[in-house]
Structure 1
């Protein structure tokens, strides 16, 4: 049956009537007959229009309100309206035992707009304000609907142009079991091709088969690769990182909106990887960088276009390493030549990147803790400790060389000394440079406060020797102060994950877009204590929860990654920067965290580390770059990071 269309009343409203305009959207049936999802503007007045039958229309004019009702009468009206509505709803739900929440989607409150203007004088101000807030929230929620951003930009003329390769962040990629032989400790066959990371199977295995799950997920501490008898591999395809578990999206919003401007699997690819591995082992075991190079070259050959790389979190570090690997000569390297990046990459869109590391990685590796675990109540802490203790969590994370790649880089120049940090605020009694603070001294373990580089060394003393060997074999956390040092580091793969020790490719045509959230409290420093019963907890030190002082000292960021981490984006813009020899243009867009109160993922204006991938504005920017409209994107600075970054002493250019 053809969709019913509302008959338009051509008669203009009289001057005495208020006018309300509301914008709706065509129905699904309407879309079948329309080439675009065109908004319909409907105008209603204080005249009520009633359809009798056919095209016959009767109009009933309402009398003008001349006098405001007394407050007592207004309250009585609101009371009776509320009571009546409550009775109707209670009867409906009681009479409909098979009521489905999905049916609420069919409710349309727009029709009440016809009566709203006339009722204004009868409703208290508080109710009117709430109604306005709800209306504003409804408009914001429209931006988070599936495909909404992409469809709007499609109407603005945006179309797929550059092929897109997405590189997820740490823990975002699902890991599935490829073990086929049972071991003495574990029945592996039951988990074949099931995700033991990033699915409900993971949660089930953790709760009901913890020992077997740990055997699968942990890497061999000596080799940093699969333990004997167990094999996990990164899931592949667009579904590898679209959802973490059912209902909890990660990249799905971006995939939807890219599809809305005509992208399909022939033009977009998720470069999923096993985030547990060191970067060199990603290539040696899985051929990851060789495959990524092949995909990008195939895009260039088949589509005659360069590729847009979109990274999130640790994915920015993976791409930076790839840039060095692909142009390096020798066995196990890309051998692409010094112009490969300039010839094949149109732009890098760095979303909430962790290029200079993140402070919370130190404490996670040191004592298996973070703010979320510290703030649990005593009963929850006890339960978590019995099920999955701090020492077990620390051991698990230490077995993942990939996690260690996120240790902070740049030393005291970036993260501060005991007396000064670039992001210290006025009237701050203790500098952020005191990264680990001990309020009570029991032994040499708690004798002094520690800076970030001190804390990394301290971590090495508290972890097994194999952990230190693995980190030093793969990574470096220093700062090259001269151009000669930068050039010498080009031949050292350990430096390739640190943008303060090696430079960007000499790629003048490369565009870099740094998009990150600001305005959400983020872990910056910690108060620690020495454990009294070290044998019981199997740790020497831990975060000092339960004391008078706040054990986790908060700074600026996106809730996960410190604001300071993004300093590199600002310093790449320096004139004659030794870290940007090709003068690649860098655009920075800071996004304030403005979450919706009733949206568990923050809504269209969130800037939280993961949820920002669903932010409407971020999706718009990603689509603009992919469609070749990146030149329309302008810098926006909300925080003080531009000033903070300028204080970093990077030596000579």
Structure 2
């Protein structure tokens, strides 16, 4: 059908470098479109942090004063890295600030537009700036776009405990409704989706059950999940075990120290689609009679198949076979099948699935060999498995929002598994990556280019989050789906392909029976063919697009027939 041109708040989605897709969401909205607000929940490391202390930096002319930029000030990072780290790192066990320096998230739109403003650094660290510029160009009022930055270093429960973040987010929705007279469109990116999911669960404990859905309908009209790691991201494991620098001029060891001081780092661990969390509140409902508390309940498919539904094991790690090895029961059972190697004093390779990572089995297995394992186990239990609101390391159900648009990039080379070995160096550089498993357009390859056996999906991910995790939202679609595939470039409609009423089985991917030119980048739309009363779900896959780490910039692409 022709593109709708509404004199209202458009859902401007800047999906990859030089591309802006304009979507006019909520076509069933019966009110005044000018009353809609847009609320932005940024992703991991996508909010500025500012100093809230005085810190004298020896051997450097640059000190930290209150309101000075910490994340991200590359000048101070380069000239006074030890000072900078004091302002960035948290105490790992209780998530408190360094005694000498504390940092807090900035507020407003400026906190999420450019992380390191400057003539050179600004464009390189731009996140939401172009999106906001396009909103202004479309005539959107200043009070219609609201950013809700947060301290992305904290676990969800700590966000509420220290900053009352979810209370403030609830007030933001209520203020937007009162100010503009209509509900909001939620734009969440990367980790911001996990934050929004937790908010929806937290809200259940704040609002009487009979008013919960009413509150959502009144305050949230549509939810845009952009590049959402719905089942986690494998790069999280690399970050906590060997370090991920995000392109910053720091060593991987320093990056590992920093990331492992943030409890939020575990928020995106890979999870099994076959395992569900058990609510901590059951302990209270049972009057304390329940003696055991299970972290996960997994269905039989978890143990019948391989890899917890993922393309391959997430981690394969070599550990030395030493006499003290068998003193650790967490790994004894795993290596009994490899006795010959142990007897010869050779290293033993252990493999771990997504479930074994998210339930802590992996970290328990290597605690004798890695100083951070006990810390990570502590964070895992305290901040995730023991969270009274939600165990976030579980598969998502469809949020009870009227309109949901799940949008992600595909067909980029994405890491899905790793091989680690001891490096012979002291902590934090005690592990090295010996090989990486990539998903590439429906196949698995090693770093050397060799084909790897496994269960690859129909496509690959967005370079950071695997396809298996991004595409989980297809399970939110109904039993029959309409599929439309169109070129991403401007077109006259002749290249549009449509399939109607395609059968969809839960927990199985939807693969279009459509032609594809290798020279054309497509966008494929999946929508429920039968409208569920009050609910609309759509999934958009964009070829060669990436959302999780890259910036948003600026060329308008219009779709005249979609």
TM-score scaled to structure 2, two decimals? 0.64
Shift of 1:549: 6.4
The equivalent position to 2:476 in structure 1, one of 567, 572, 583, is: 572
Rounded Cα–Cα distance in structure 2 between residues aligned with 1:468 and 1:615: 43
The equivalent position to 2:262 in structure 1, one of 400, 403, 410, is: 400
Q: Which residue of 2 aligns with 1:541?
A: 431
Q: Which residue of 1 aligns with 2:230?
A: 355
Rounded Cα–Cα distance in structure 2 between residues aligned with 1:196 and 1:271: 19
Secondary structure of 1:614's partner?
coil
The equivalent position to 1:609 in structure 2, one of 548, 559, 562, is: 548
Q: Which has the higher helix share?
A: 1
The equivalent position to 1:437 in structure 2, one of 316, 324, 327, is: 316
The equivalent position to 2:272 in structure 1, one of 388, 395, 410, is: 410
Q: Which residue of 1 aligns with 2:68?
A: 194
Tell me the matched-pair count: 418
1:554-587 CA-partner distances (Å, limit 9, x unpaired):
9721111111112331112245989xx9983210
Q: Are the structure 2 counterparts of residues 313 and 334 from structure 1 closer, same or farther at C-alpha, using a change threshold of 3 Å?
A: farther
1:161-183 CA-partner distances (Å, limit 9, x unpaired):
51000111000111111113659
Q: Are the structure 2 counterparts of residues 614 and 439 from structure 1 closer, same or farther at C-alpha, using a change threshold of 3 Å?
A: same
Rounded Cα–Cα distance in structure 2 between residues aligned with 1:233 and 1:255: 23
Rounded Cα–Cα distance in structure 2 between residues aligned with 1:167 and 1:392: 28
| Aligned-residue RMSD, C-alpha | 4.4
The equivalent position to 2:123 in structure 1, one of 228, 247, 250, is: 247
Secondary structure of 2:143's partner?
coil
Shift of 1:260: 2.0
Q: Are the structure 2 counterparts of residues 335 and 240 from structure 1 closer, same or farther at C-alpha, using a change threshold of 3 Å?
A: farther
1:468 matches 2:346: no
The equivalent position to 2:172 in structure 1, one of 275, 288, 295, is: 295
Q: Are the structure 2 counterparts of residues 244 and 334 from structure 1 closer, same or farther at C-alpha, using a change threshold of 3 Å?
A: farther
Rounded Cα–Cα distance in structure 2 between residues aligned with 1:151 and 1:362: 35
Q: Are the structure 2 counterparts of residues 218 and 446 from structure 1 closer, same or farther at C-alpha, using a change threshold of 3 Å?
A: farther
Shift of 1:420: 3.8
Shift of 1:151: 13
Rounded Cα–Cα distance in structure 2 between residues aligned with 1:335 and 1:243: 41
1:177 matches 2:51: yes
Q: Which has the higher strand share?
A: 2
Q: Which residue of 2 aligns with 1:222?
A: 93
The equivalent position to 1:283 in structure 2, one of 160, 163, 174, is: 160
Q: Quick check: 1:168–1:315 contact (8 Å CA) kept in 2?
A: yes
Rounded Cα–Cα distance in structure 2 between residues aligned with 1:264 and 1:278: 33
Shift of 1:542: 2.4
Q: Are the structure 2 counterparts of residues 159 and 471 from structure 1 closer, same or farther at C-alpha, using a change threshold of 3 Å?
A: same
Rounded Cα–Cα distance in structure 2 between residues aligned with 1:584 and 1:514: 14
The equivalent position to 2:463 in structure 1, one of 538, 559, 581, is: 559
Q: Which residue of 2 aligns with 1:84?
A: none
Shift of 1:300: 1.3
Shift of 1:337: 3.7
Rounded Cα–Cα distance in structure 2 between residues aligned with 1:319 and 1:241: 17
Identify which of structures 1 and 2 has the higher relative contact order when contacts are C-alpha pairs closer than 8 Å and 6+ apart.
2
Shift of 1:447: 3.1
Rounded Cα–Cα distance in structure 2 between residues aligned with 1:313 and 1:214: 24
Q: Quick check: 1:144–1:614 contact (8 Å CA) kept in 2?
A: yes
Q: Are the structure 2 counterparts of residues 159 and 287 from structure 1 closer, same or farther at C-alpha, using a change threshold of 3 Å?
A: same
Rounded Cα–Cα distance in structure 2 between residues aligned with 1:173 and 1:335: 35
Shift of 1:530: 2.7
The equivalent position to 2:351 in structure 1, one of 449, 457, 460, is: 449
Q: Quick check: 2:93–2:378 contact (8 Å CA) kept in 1?
A: no
Secondary structure of 1:339's partner?
helix
Rounded Cα–Cα distance in structure 1 between residues aligned with 2:448 and 2:129: 36
Secondary structure of 2:221's partner?
strand
Q: Are the structure 2 counterparts of residues 244 and 538 from structure 1 closer, same or farther at C-alpha, using a change threshold of 3 Å?
A: closer
Q: Which residue of 1 aligns with 2:388?
A: 492
1:365 matches 2:237: no
Alignment of 1:319-358 (within 5 A): 319-329=196-206, 337-358=212-233
Structure 2 portions without partners, runs of 5+ = 1-16, 26-31, 117-121, 276-297, 326-346, 437-444, 480-504, 508-531
Q: Are the structure 2 counterparts of residues 571 and 252 from structure 1 closer, same or farther at C-alpha, using a change threshold of 3 Å?
A: same
Structure 1 portions without partners, runs of 5+ = 1-142, 374-383, 425-431, 477-488, 594-605, 622-631, 635-653
Alignment of 1:6-155 (within 5 A): 144=18
Q: Are the structure 2 counterparts of residues 551 and 167 from structure 1 closer, same or farther at C-alpha, using a change threshold of 3 Å?
A: farther
Alignment of 1:626-637 (within 5 A): none
Rounded Cα–Cα distance in structure 1 between residues aligned with 2:40 and 2:558: 16
Q: Are the structure 2 counterparts of residues 349 and 212 from structure 1 closer, same or farther at C-alpha, using a change threshold of 3 Å?
A: same
Rounded Cα–Cα distance in structure 2 between residues aligned with 1:423 and 1:471: 22
